[in-house]
Structure 1
Amino acid sequence: MTSTRQEVTDPEASGHADPDLADPEMVRLLGPDGALRSDAEYSPYVADVDAEMLRGFYRDMALTRRFDEEATALQRQGQLALWVPLRGQEAAQIGSGRATRPQDYIFPTYREHGVALTRDVDFPQMLRIFRGISNGGWDPRENNFHMYTMVLAAQMPHATGYAMGVQRDQAGWDRARLEKDGTAVVAYFGDGASSEGDVHESMVFAASYTSPVVFFCQNNQWAISVPFHVQSRVPLADRARGYGFPGVRVDGNDVLAVLAVTRWALERARRGDGPALIEAYTYRMSAHTTADDPTKYRLGADERAWVEKDPISRLEKHLRAEGHADDDFFARVAADGDAMAARVRREALAFEPPELAQSFGNVYAEAHPLIQEELRWHREYEAGFDDGAAPDAGTTAGEDAR
């Protein structure tokens, strides 16, 4: 499919306007009022979605938001060095995450807490890096969900490179086997990261080698304090044409539309048809990070307008209207969310911080003379605060790490 959306000629429209006005051809299956819409191209990709699956999507989004709230509270109480909220982006993450298969590999940025849930990453483990006691927190080999990447867009070349490796591992497979057992890669990034050269280079390579990677951009309207219309004068999905692969703009607050579009992109990637770009048009209803104050650069009226498009409320309206869920269901989900949040807080506060000396063993695979010298200096420095005997200054960094 080739993108045919109209160019956005009003700069302010691409940064602030209602998505219905900004792009009339945006893919949407579930409106803000909770009513279903039919789409000849994408509705078939969610034909299997029943009431149980819809309730599952709601639960996923509600638990993700509750986790986000608890992590934010922990940071405000001084228990995390930083937190990256995602409020408002739950549908973009749950819809895309639930579209993946276990063999697919995910490269997140630092805000994909909902995608992590769909890949069975335990929420408390995600706080290790934000608590400053780990360089990661989970083993990506267990669930094909890579470490969070704090350096903007640095995960994009990794994702394309991994997809190129997948191609070589699956060389010789026919299309039927690829469709059934093939691996696809998903690279998440934001509208701000789209201005980084790493994104451009990754898309060039992916297009050149027809690599099985889906580029998933969560366009939440703001690159910290820079509005989207400064990042791009056209919808980001339209950039895909320049690389020679399809781009789709989807309502990022519509979990069904996101699921459908991501399934479509993943299927074509698996069977060898190459990359695609998905732009999930959504809105960050909270701060960029807990170090940010969005009231300094955003209008309250814009924020209130997007609250009416809240992805969780939207699905709740649909579930209630169709008789798929009642008050008891929503109360149970809320109670489960509170229990989860209590467990997250309890386990996060119980993490044992590693000794600083262990970090010396993480620099090189084998002992290095300079690192050993620095470790000895560190040991002597530590000993200056202790009335007891100084540790053995000859301990190597490698031994300390073990």
Structure 2
Amino acid sequence: MSYKNFPMVPRVVFGRGSFNQLSEILDPKRLSINAPFIFLVDDVFKADGNLTSRIPLAYDDKIIYVSAKEEPKTDQVDSIVKDIILSTKERPSGIIGIGGGTLLDLAKAVSIMLTNEGEAKDYQGWDLVKNPAIYHVGIPTISGTGAEVSRTTVLTGPEKKLGINSDFTPFDQVVLDSELLQGVDKNQWFYTGMDCYIHCIESLNGTYLNAFSQSYGDIALSLCKEVFLKNNLSQIEADEKLMMASWHGGMSIAYSQVGVAHAMSYGLSYLLGTKHGIGNCIVFNHLEEFYPEGVKLFKQMKELHGIALPQGICANLTDADFDTMIDISLDLKPLWENALGKNWQKIITRSKLKALYKKM
């Protein structure tokens, strides 16, 4: 039997205020004064001098502000790569992503596409990337997606929503500074945190489960319960615990997979542009049949935090729309196999998927 030799993030800094060490982290990695660092930053920080003024720009370094209102797209990656190539004298020294899962995934994808020919859509799938990415750093400003630690960068392409899953995807360096989580919108905090919780439930209940995945998944799930079911944590404690839950949740799927909620939310995202975190929540809310205990706990958390999920988002869809979502969802074979086993196609039919989508 051949075992996967997965890469992990080789360097991580954890601690409040660790963002201030960015200059000393990056300086030794600068290739030349003509090889800039490119900072991809969520545009919500454009007016936030507190963060942007602390980005250590030198020489030809530049900030590219990117909106995270929509899920990251392959053509968006191509456009950023083209912009960087046309505006720099030499290949950049590195790409630094600052933001939530969208910005982190874009940073990973851009760093890959600067060294690989063609378009980002050509690399959607498993182990298609040929050349190592340029140096890239992830700095999350919201916790839950696990994008800071995963070997995938989830992108919506012209034909599918699918990650660039590769050994060259993980960051070379991650900075975990819980100070950067201040001021996150309550709903957004919940939806992104639930992405982590759902990772754990799907990993821990999957057929791919093994001791490696379980050890990380158990820790992440325990941390999620502390953050979302207790009210005696200070904001700093909650932020730091959720940051570590996200890290461990991302690690738990390195050697396993996610499941039904992620497979179905990819369909929503592709057709309706539903953001990943809220999409997972909308789907998971209806998955008692697959994850009875997990859904029960999810509903408790939702009630405790006063979260009202959008209703009826699939109410006016055509049969063709449902077919599109079902096609996207069923294409994610490893997710279904993890959730339901090798005979998953006998369990999850198109009509069953359609009935589930109709509830949303």
| TM-score (ref. length: structure 2) | 0.32
| TM-score (ref. length: structure 1) | 0.29
Higher relative contact order (CA 8 A, sep 6+): 1
